Each structure stands twice: as structure tokens, then as C-alpha cells.
Chains A and B, each alone.
Chain A
Amino acid sequence: MNEAVKGAPSVKEGRVKDLIVDSIKHNTKQYTMFIALIAIWLTFTFLTDSVFLTARNLSNLFVQTVTTAILAIGMVLIIVAGHIDLSVGSVLGFAGAVCAMLMIKLEWGVVPSVLTTLLVGLAIGTWHGFWVAYRKVPAFIVSLASMLAFRGLIIGITGGQTQGLEMAPEGAANSFKLIGQGYLPTISAAAEGRVHDTSLYCSVAVIALFVASGLRKRAARLKYGFTVLPLKLEILRLAFLSAIIGTFAMIMVMYLGIPWSVVLVLALAVLFSFIAGNTKFGRHLYAIGGNPEAAKLSGINIPRRTLALWMIMGVMTAVAGIVYTARLNAATTSAGQNAELDAIAAAVIGGTSLLGGEGTIFGAVIGALVMASLDNGMSLMNLDITFQYVIKGLILLLAVWVDMAQRKK
């Protein structure tokens, strides 16, 4: 065999190896987070005699993650732009209470109640945005003020009592419940109770879409003449990621199907990942958080972007409030207490830098899953509530320390 022939494949392999090493280097954070999540799951599986890993429990876990995940998605953008929002817990409770009271006291239907609640969220976000962007009051203070004020307003509009949604007209109450507790319906009667057909079809469709978009991206890069993964490797990559998505989907399909609230979170996560990574608005937020002076000199309208950001956060909080209330089937005065801390912790565990300019939506969702897994697992173990708080606190501390240590390297 001559030298050239021997050399050729090794050169190509070298390139492939470089690409893989590169991708691992670029995504260390995502990988560590994922590994941490798996480690937590395995620990709980072991500690709970495998109860943790049942389809039923995992499916519940995903539902429990929803509110924190929605808040964390918004929180990432807030933190990336160099702010913080401490009010989301109280505003979540307030929005939920508004929605519940509209349905109970005014006997409104689900759609007008939900839309009005979203508008209320938008208004609260605008209020915050105005003070932060145009009056230059630090977000910490603006949101701290709202944290107090809205906790009070919750008591005001609920009269200090838990308002159960069974007091609302029955039709509306039932469909509202679906937002928090419902699953994708099953169409074919034969499949009833065994396989959840729509959920299955939806999962397959999502995976197909995912693969198609991956291949389209590759084709676009090829058209521009940029380097791409070799086709075989690209297929391997897509297959691997599809398998992960598939596993998650199957867990839910095997239980009661995919919950509507999980569909909502996934849709929001995809939407906001796109906003963060592919839009001018998203890019501007990262620039503002990374270096506000350079952003200003680059012609970025910082106040306007900041206002829009806070408006979005307001709406996201309202969404979380609606889902939370629907899951509980009631508005309570303590709804959303400490939710801001869970959301911030989720974002930070997910690799968002509190200094601004850095963070991913995907990471925050995983972070929310970590936080919810801790709650879920420790409850399954019947661990004393004292330790639950302590352990969650310590895990947050540990996660940020690992992140800092990695950064230094």
C-alpha cells in the first residue's frame, strides 16, 4: 500500500475528531448539566427503590417542572440583559388569582379570562420596564417593590382565602383544568388505556421536524461553502438527539400521554431559543448585558429593548400563573412563594451568568428540571422538609461553584 492511500483516511478522521472535540469544548456546559441531571436521577432511583424512574413519576415530574421552566425561560433573558426579577413569584400568584376571580366572580369563560390575565401580565411587565428602562431604577429594587406589592394585592383580590375553581361555572372550570392537568386526547377508541395515539404521533412528528431542520441547516451551510459535519456523522448526531427526545416522549406516552402544559413549555422553549439565538432582539439583549456602553455606541436602543424585555417577562409570568392555578385548581394567597428563587436558581444552574451577557434557554429548562427533580425525589423519599431546603440550597451553591471553576480553566 502506498503512502498516499494510507494517509488519506487518517487525515479525514483527524478532521472528524477535531470537529467532535470542538463541539464538546463548545458545549461543555450543556454536557455537564445533562450528566448532573442523569446523576441526580440515578441517585433518586437508587434511594427510592426505582419508584423515581417509573413512567408515572417522571411524567408527574415534567408537569411539576412546568411553572419553574416557564419562569426560567423568561428569567434567562432578564439576567442575560444584566437585570434580575424578584417579583415573578408574587406576580405569578397575582396573575393566577386574577384569572381565577374572573372565572369565579364574573363567571367569564376560559378564553377571555386567560387573555385578560395575559394583558394584566403585560401591563405589570410594562410597569417594571418603565421604571428600569426609563427611570433607571435598578431592577433589583423595582422587582423587590413588586414582590411586596403584589403579594399584598393577592390577598386583596382573593379576600385572603383560597378560591377553588369548582366555584366557577362547571364548563369553564373543566376546560381550564386541562391547561394544568390535561393530556393530549386519545382519538382511536381501540387504543384507549393502552397507547396514547395522538401523543405518539405528535412525538414522531416533532422528531421528523427536528431531523428535517437539522438537514436543512446543513444544506444551507453547504450552499454558503462553510464547513459541515460529514453526512454520516451528522446523521449519527441527529439520531442520537432524536433518541433522547424519543425517550422523553415515550415516558409520557406510556403513562397518560403528553400533558398540555409540557407541550406549552416545549413550544415556549423552542420559540425563545430562536429569539435568543436568531433575532436582532435576542442579540441585542446579549450585547446590552455583555457591555452596555459598547451596545449603545453600536446603535442599540437600550431603553426600548429593555422595555420590550420586561413586557415579555410580564407575559411569561402570567402564563406561568395561569398554568400553576390550573394545576392547583385554585388560587391561593401563597401561590408562587419562592418561585422567583427557583427560577433564578434554574437559570443559574443552567449556565446563565449573573454578570449578564451569557446564558441559554435550553440550559435553563434543564436547570428547572434539576430543581423539580430535587423536589420530587426528596418528597418521594419522605425527607424532612428541613433537609429539603438545605439540600436545594447546597446544590445551587455547588452548581455555581462548578461553573466558576470550569470558567477559570
Chain B
Amino acid sequence: MDDFILEMKGIGKEFPGVKALENVNFQVRRGEIHALVGENGAGKSTLMKILSGLYPYGTYGGDVVFDGQVQKFTGTRDSEKAGVAIIYQELALVKHMTIAENIYLGDEICRVKGWIDWNETYQRTAKVLKEVGLKLSPAALVIDIGVGSQQLVEIAKALSKDAKLLILDEPTAALTETETDNLLQILGSLQQKGVTCIYISHRLNEVMRIADRITVLRDGRTICTDEKASMTVDRMIHNMVGRELTNMYPRKERPVGDTVLEVKNWTVRDPVTDDVVCDDMSFKARKGEILGIAGLMGAGRTELVMSLFGVWGKRQSGEVWLEGKKLANHGAIDAISAGISLVSEDRKRYGLVLGMDVKENSTLASLDRISKLGIINKNEEIKSAGRYVKELRTKTPSLEQPVRNLSGGNQQKVVIAKWLLTRPKVLFLDEPTRGIDVGAKVEIYNIMNGLVDQGVCVVMISSELPEVLGMSDRILVVHEGRITGDLPRAEATEEKVMHCATSGS
């Protein structure tokens, strides 16, 4: 008989008009790392929200059995008390507090009621930090440490509460390769100490590396639960999307055209720290090609495109030439009118006005084209927005739907539509497929191909090596603010790119 720490039996959950979960069975053995995978909207988050008590007992069907008992959580406090700790994709740390303050936030150590015992707090913090392998002072401010370390602080926080079951939701989405390695190692060592872990991720290679067992959800149902040994990445994808993705990266061979964009000696400083972030970078992008930009997190890739677009950094030197004309830039307004567009890395922060609807977001950067004397022609607006909803196959109930209610992939399509409506000559895509599901990824790739066919020059930043290698015609590698590699597709391999990205030669 298996020793299950958690059994979710016959779970069903309905929202008005939608069955989010239907008869889901999910069992986690004590001490294992159990991966939960599925496309966005498959029901992973809903399932975890039931487990955490965010959807209280009585609002769902079925039973949650934790540690041998049927649990009736009515809030996250209950589940925390029972030993369930969830670490969300968007970290819930207070940036201007110290690590120690964060770890014991809401659970402060007091000798006399209401008086915080700081010595004890710092001592215990130091202990849990050691457990997760963080060599940082408990008094360091969270804002000063990297995302990877913040992730570990969250884990330390969970451990400090004696969590028996740790749930990680997309923990590596914002981490570099090294940070990811580190995190996976620490999860391994925590497992040795008896901590059970549910690992939710879109990164299937990671899942294969770390998980003992894997459960696939699709459309609110459990498709399968298997030992890792009997699972492959292809099978996982097959189960997730319910169809065979014969070609994850639908790249096409194309003739390469003239140079569209040329950047010369681009040097930019960080406006706050005054560090050089882009150091004498020069490159060309040509018509009819997808130029991939690879590198580690923090190498200066995002800073490069943001500064080229004119919205970030102190420019030190350098020129941008577009179709043989030097750009007088800068500011987003100049860049857009010259024909440069930027789909930025963080769509919620830089891309969308979440409260606005699909059509208003779509036309935000191109209102000039549909306005006369400053007055918007609303019918033209519906027409242009509607065209791209159709062309990009954005799934939305209507053009009047606030983008807040769309899934990640569809939000990304709205951002892309916004920039396509400006009719760009060069389109920068910064991590265009981050946090969106496999099916939507392929659709985004197809959109990229379509654009290149129409003569747009596409420059794509990506931290996922297979994506860069799969989609790019040429790959630039950035390391510490310098371009350390310019590899044509034929020569590029994962090893070569990683070599350039880490050692810089």
C-alpha cells in the first residue's frame, strides 16, 4: 500500500458557465517530487487553490485527504497550519523588508505578546537560510537580492513554518540556468530530508530532471499519472495538448534579404547604478530573417532592446540605422514612427492596460492611423482590432472584453496585435512565449513566420535555448553587456551558445 501524504479524490469545481475541474484524482506519495503539468487553463491553479483553501470547503466537490484526514480548509490559514505551503509564480515578498522580516511576516517571534524578539528571529532565519543553501545575511533587504535568491527565501519561509508539502508554481520562469540548477539541487536535498513537493512547470525538461512522478491535466480532467521512467517529453506534450505536436518549432527556410536594422557601437549605462549594461554592441538584422538573441538573465539583452526602443538607460554612444537612414531617436514615439516595435518581456507591466478591453489595447499605439483631428473613428477601431483578433486567432468572447480576463497566450496575442497595427519594419520580441502554454507557443511561432514572410525583420530574445535554436536564422549571444557570439543557424548548437553565454569568448 502506498503512503500518500495527499489524496484529492473526485474533485469537481464549477464556475458560472464553466466546469473548471471534473472528477480530478491526484495522489502524492510522501517524500516524492510530483510534477503537475498541463496547458494554461487546464485546471492546475484551480486544483492548487482548492488544496490551499483559497476555494473553501463546500465550494467544490470531492474530498481532499491530507495526512490521512479529510480536510475542510476554509482559508489559507487552515492549510498552512496543516502543513501545506504554496509558492506562487509572482513572489509574495515585501521588497523593502529584510529577509528575516519577510520570513516571519505575519508569524513574528515574540517573547512578550506584540514585542518582536529580533535576536531569535535572526538566529532562526540564519538556520533556515542555511537549509536552502543561501549565503546571505538575514538582514539583507529583499529588493537587493536576485530573483533566484528571492525564490529561495520563499522556500525558506515555507520551511520555517514546518511545511510538510511544498507547492512550487512555475518556480523557474524568471530564473537563469544557473539559478535553476541551484534550485533543482536544493529541492533534491530537501527531498532527502523528507519534504514532499508538488512542482508545477511548463519547462518539461526540468520536470523530467527532477520529478519522481508526473500527473498531466487537460481541460479540467486528469489524463494520466505516471512514473518518470515510463514518461517522455513527447508523451507529456501529447497528453497535454491532446494531439501530436509534430513540429514544435515550425521554422521555414527563406532567402535572406538586405540589412534593415544596423546598430553600431551601442553603449548604454544603467540610469540608477551607472554601470555599463550594453558595452559597445554592434550588429545587423536583415529582411526575411529571425534574429535570435540568447544569453543568461541579466546579460543585458532586455536592456539592449529597451534602450534601442528609447525607453530605458543613459545612452553613452552608438547609432541606429534603419533602412540606411540614421535614426534621430529617442523616445518610444520616435521609434514607433520610424518603424520599430517592442513586445516587451513583462506584458502585464509594459504591454497591456489590464482594465481596457481588447480593442482599446490593440489600437493604443496606432491611434493616429484611425483618427482625424484627434478624434477616433470608433468603427475603424473595431475593424482594425477585429482583423487581428481573427488573424492571430485570439480567443476572446468579444472585442469589448477587458484583457484582464484573457489567458496569458491570448493576452500576448493582443500585445502583438497592438504592435502589428503600427506596421513595424523591425519587431523586437522579448521573451515572447514566457508563461504561455505549449499550444499558444506554436501559434506565436507561426505568427513570427508569417511576419517574416511579409518582410518584417523579427528580433527575438529568449532564455529558452531550444526556442532560440529552433526558430532563429541567426543567433547573437550576449554576455555581460557584450556580444560574444554571432552564429548562423547551421553552426549553432546548444553547447556553443552556452559557451558564449557563460565564458564570453
- Which A residues are within 8 Å of any B CB, using their own CB? 26, 220-221, 223-224, 226, 278-281, 283-284, 286-287, 290-291, 293-301, 357-358
Contact = CB atoms under 8 A, between A and B. Distances in A.
A295 B349 CA distance: 10
B375 A224 contact: no
B360 A298 contact: no
Output the residue of A220, A298, A301 with the most chain B CB within 10 A: A298
Nearest to A223: B379
Nearest to B352: A294
Interface residues of B, number: 32
B288 to A, nearest CB: 26
A159 B337 CA distance: 55
A295 B332 CA distance: 10
Contact of B379 (A26, A221, A294, A358): A221
Nearest to B346: A293
Given A287-B364, A294-B352, A280 B309 contact: no
Given A280-B376, A287-B364, A290-B355, 19 more contacts: A220-B379, A224-B383, A283-B360, A286-B353, A286-B356, A290-B356, A291-B352, A294-B352, A295-B353, A297-B309, A297-B311, A297-B332, A297-B342, A297-B351, A298-B365, A299-B336, A301-B333, A357-B355, A358-B355
8 contacts: A224-B379, A279-B371, A280-B374, A280-B375, A284-B367, A291-B354, A293-B349, A295-B353
Contacts of A299: 332-333, 335-337, 365
A280 B332 contact: no
Contacts of A278: 375-376, 378
A235 B349 CA distance: 43
Contacts of A221: 379
B351 A294 contact: yes
A108 to B, nearest CB: 34
A196 to B, nearest CB: 35
Contacts of A287: 353, 356, 360, 364
B120 interface: no
Contact of A26 (B335, B367, B378, B400): B400
B14 interface: no
Contact of A294 (B337, B350, B378): B350
A212 to B, nearest CB: 18
Contacts of B364: 283, 287, 294-295, 298, 300
B355 A298 contact: no
A280 B371 contact: yes
Contacts of A296: 311, 332
A290 B402 CA distance: 12
Nearest to B415: A294
B186 interface: no
A402 to B, nearest CB: 19
Contact of B350 (A26, A283, A286, A297): A297
A296 B330 CA distance: 13
A296 B354 CA distance: 15
A288 to B, nearest CB: 9
Nearest to B364: A298
A221 B381 CA distance: 12
